[in-house]
A and B are shown apart, each in its own frame.
Chain A
Amino acid sequence: MSSEEQLLDALRAGDEGAFAALVREYHPSLVRVARIYVSTQAAAEEVAQETWLGVLNGLPRFEGRSSLKTWIFRILSNIAKTRAVRDGRTLPFSALQDPGRVPESAVDADRFLDPEHPRWPGHWALKPEPWPEDALLSAETRERLAEAIEALPATQRAVISLRDIEGWSSDEVRNALDLSETNQRVLLHRARSKVRAALESYLDQA
Chain B
Amino acid sequence: MNVDVEQLSCQELVELVTDYLEGALLEADRARFEAHIARCDACKIYLAQMRETIELVGHLSTDSVSPEAERALLDAFRGWLSA
For B46, B57, B60, the residue with the greatest tally of chain A CB atoms inside 10 Å of its CB is B57
Q: Which residues of A contact B58 (CB under 8 A)?
A: 164-165, 167
B62-A28 in contact (CB<8A): yes
Q: Which residues of A contact B65 (CB under 8 A)?
A: 23-24, 27-28
B10-A164 in contact (CB<8A): no
Contact with B along A112-136 (1 / 0, CB 8 A): 1001000001111001111100001
Q: Does B1 contact A (CB under 8 A)?
A: no
A112 to B40, CA, bound (A): 14
A106 to B16, CA, bound (A): 9
Q: Does A91 contact B (CB under 8 A)?
A: no
The main secondary structure of chain A at its interface with chain B is helix
Q: Which residues of B contact A23 (CB under 8 A)?
A: 65, 70, 73-74
Q: Which residues of A contact B22 (CB under 8 A)?
A: 170, 185, 188
Q: A109-B11, A141-B56, A149-B57 are in contact. Are A16 and B73 (CB under 8 A)?
A: no
**How many B residues touch A, CB cutoff 8 Å?**
41
Give A contacts to B, CB under 8 Å: 14, 16, 19-20, 23-24, 27-28, 31-32, 45, 48-49, 52-53, 56-57, 105-107, 109, 112, 115, 121-124, 127-131, 136, 141-142, 145-146, 149, 160, 164-167, 170, 181, 185, 188-189, 192-193, 195-196, 199-200
Give B contacts to A, CB under 8 Å: 9-12, 14-15, 17-19, 22, 24, 41-43, 45-46, 48-50, 52-54, 56-60, 62-65, 69-70, 72-74, 76-78, 80-81
15 A-B contacts (beta carbon < 8 Å): A20-B73, A28-B63, A32-B63, A45-B69, A49-B76, A52-B73, A106-B15, A109-B11, A121-B9, A123-B11, A124-B42, A128-B45, A131-B52, A185-B22, A188-B18
